[in-house]
Amino acid sequence: MKFHFAEHLDSFEAGIFAILNEKKEELLRQGREVYNLSVGTPDFKPAPHVMEAFCKACQDPENYKYSLVDMPELLDAVAGHYERRYGVHIEHDEIMSINGSQEGIAHIAMALCDAEDVVLVPNPGYPIFSVGPFLCGAVPVTYDLRPENHFLPDFDSISEEVAKKAKFIIVSYPLNPVCVTANDRMYEELIRFAEKYQIIVLHDNAYSDIIYGGRKGGSFLAYDGAKDVGVEFYSLSKSYNLTGARISFVIGNKEIISKFKTVRSQIDYGVFKPVQYGAIAALNGPQDAVLEQCAEYERRNHALCGGLRRIGWNVPDSEGTMFAWAPIPDGYVSSEQFCMDLADKTGVICTPGSSFGSLGSRYVRFALVRDVPTMEKIVQIIDESGILKNRVN
């Protein structure tokens, strides 16, 4: 039998993380030591009180039924956290849980777009920003993020023709992969831009608890007019090391939330109740571990980026996220070429910037998922490999 699959699948190549995993396995078969800095999976443990709340909830057979709706206690926990953490007042009908921000971003276009509607996504940007709308039948149009503008949007560069067609714009700071934060002016301009062209704002706020250099992570919703134009995705994955639990929230404009709930009621039965109890414990409990974890990421950031600068590779310190964004050394023609050469010569695996869009083709991304001594060792291995001296043409 000959199968005929959806034509839009032809747009996708093998996922970069699958390719990098194959490279890792190849090196391991050779008996090589591998330093995998490609995937942003935290190497920290969830807090004991969070695991205890989850385990306790798992002992109750009633918690294995369809959850269907968010528990009031969970909504209270989210609202309380936003009030304490960001100074933002949130009502229950301005909150909904999702099975991870990636899933939410993948599906929200179903509530916002018809086929062929234009959506604005960053270049470079996290792949789901484009893939989600594309799978929903929308047309992603990129806006450029360039180093000369500190990787911030230049709203004036978006043509009026495109802006008038756009249904929504995705923005995310601190931004994976470019690892910069945004200032107040950017958010104020974003809201004015959205109001002018009647564009919905989707702000991915996955890394507001992982920010360096004395900066303080905030929320898009803290700015005047934000709730009138959009929503924010807030994830517990990286702040609380709950990546596998898949618990995030969409927060903000109640009309958008209501429409998105309608979509999700057709494809999902709600977040597993023990996960909800774990989230409640995380949000209501002590936050000391979150702060210490951020400090450890910052130490790793300095060890890696500062160390690479000392050996002649001009890698700027990350301003936020659990990553570092490095320009490829002179002489390399693509990020993919450099990544494979780096892996072969050092055992260090990173992600080619081209995976995040055409404007990432001269960069690579490192995940800060190894401790400081290991980061220092990685710098030494890269230096001794000669890869920064032996240019490739």
- Range scoring the smallest mean pLDDT among 12-26, 106-120, 140-154, 343-357: 12-26
234 and 279 in a single domain? The answer is yes
Cα 34 to the chain's mean position, in Å? Answer: 24
The whole domain housing 273 covers: 49-284
28 and 170 in a single domain? The answer is no
Q: pLDDT tens-digit profile of 324-366?
A: 999 999 889 899 999 999 999 999 999 999 999 999 999 999 9
Q: Answer whether 237's CB lies under 8 Å from 215's CB.
A: no
pLDDT number for residue 319: 98
Burial class from Cβ neighbours inside 10 Å (0-12, 13-18, 19+) for residue 334 reads middle
276 and 327 in a single domain? The answer is no
pLDDT number for residue 118: 98
Confidence of residue 391 (pLDDT cuts 50, 70, 90): low
- Domain boundary (284, 308, 336) is at 284
Alpha helices in the chain (DSSP H): 16-29, 48-58, 72-86, 101-107, 109-112, 128-135, 160-165, 184-197, 226-229, 254-267, 273-284, 288-301, 307-310, 335-346, 372-385
Q: Does 18 have pLDDT greater than 90? A: no
- Domain boundary (263, 284, 305) is at 284
- Residue 147's identity, in one-letter code, is P
Q: Which H/E stretch holds residue 199?
A: none
Would residue 392 count as lying in a domain? Answer: no
The DSSP bridge pattern shows strands 363-367 and 323-327 to be antiparallel
3-state SS, residue 21: helix
Would residue 3 count as lying in a domain? Answer: no
The model's pTM: 0.95
Task: Report the distance separating Cα 184 and Cα 202, nearest Å.
Answer: 17
Would residue 335 count as lying in a domain? Answer: yes
CATH number, residue 313: 3.90.1150.10
163 and 228 in a single domain? The answer is yes
Confidence of residue 5 (pLDDT cuts 50, 70, 90): confident
170 and 26 in a single domain? The answer is no
**If you average pLDDT over residues 358-381, what whole number do you get?**
97
Q: Does 392 have pLDDT greater than 60? A: no
Mean pLDDT of the chain: 95
- Residue 323's identity, in one-letter code, is F
Task: Report the distance separating Cα 275 and Cα 96, nearest Å.
Answer: 14
pLDDT number for residue 390: 59
121 and 183 in a single domain? The answer is yes
**If you average pLDDT over residues 358-380, what whole number do you get?**
97
Q: Does 14 have pLDDT greater than 70? A: no
Confidence of residue 252 (pLDDT cuts 50, 70, 90): very high
88 and 186 in a single domain? The answer is yes
Would residue 4 count as lying in a domain? Answer: no
Q: Answer whether 92's CB lies under 8 Å from 79's CB.
A: yes
Distance of CA 62 to CAs 65, 66, 96, 338, 359, Å?
6, 9, 22, 53, 50
82 and 217 in a single domain? The answer is yes
pLDDT number for residue 23: 85
Cα 156 to the chain's mean position, in Å? Answer: 25
Task: Report the distance separating Cα 5 and Cα 3, nearest Å.
Answer: 6
**If you average pLDDT over residues 137-161, what whole number do you get?**
97
Q: How many CB atoms lie within 10 A of CB 231?
A: 29
Would residue 393 count as lying in a domain? Answer: no
- Domain boundary (234, 251, 284) is at 284
Would residue 184 count as lying in a domain? Answer: yes
Q: How many CB atoms lie within 10 A of CB 214?
A: 6
**If you average pLDDT over residues 16-43, what whole number do you get?**
88
257 and 160 in a single domain? The answer is yes
CATH number, residue 97: 3.40.640.10
Residue matched to tokens 């080619």: 352
Q: Does 301 have pLDDT greater than 80? A: yes
28 and 80 in a single domain? The answer is no
138 and 250 in a single domain? The answer is yes
pLDDT number for residue 10: 72
Residues in a beta bridge with 122: 143
Cα(first)–Cα(last) distance of the chain, in Å?
47
Would residue 2 count as lying in a domain? Answer: no
Q: pLDDT tens-digit profile of 48-95?
A: 999 999 999 999 999 999 999 999 999 999 999 999 999 999 999 999
Closest CA to 234 of 202, 274, 258, 187: 202
**If you average pLDDT over residues 265-287, what whole number do you get?**
97
**If you average pLDDT over residues 251-280, what whole number do you get?**
97
How many domains does the chain contain in total?
A: 2
pLDDT number for residue 393: 41
96 and 213 in a single domain? The answer is yes
Would residue 296 count as lying in a domain? Answer: yes
Q: Does 216 have pLDDT greater than 50? A: yes
Closest CA to 365 of 193, 198, 200, 126: 126
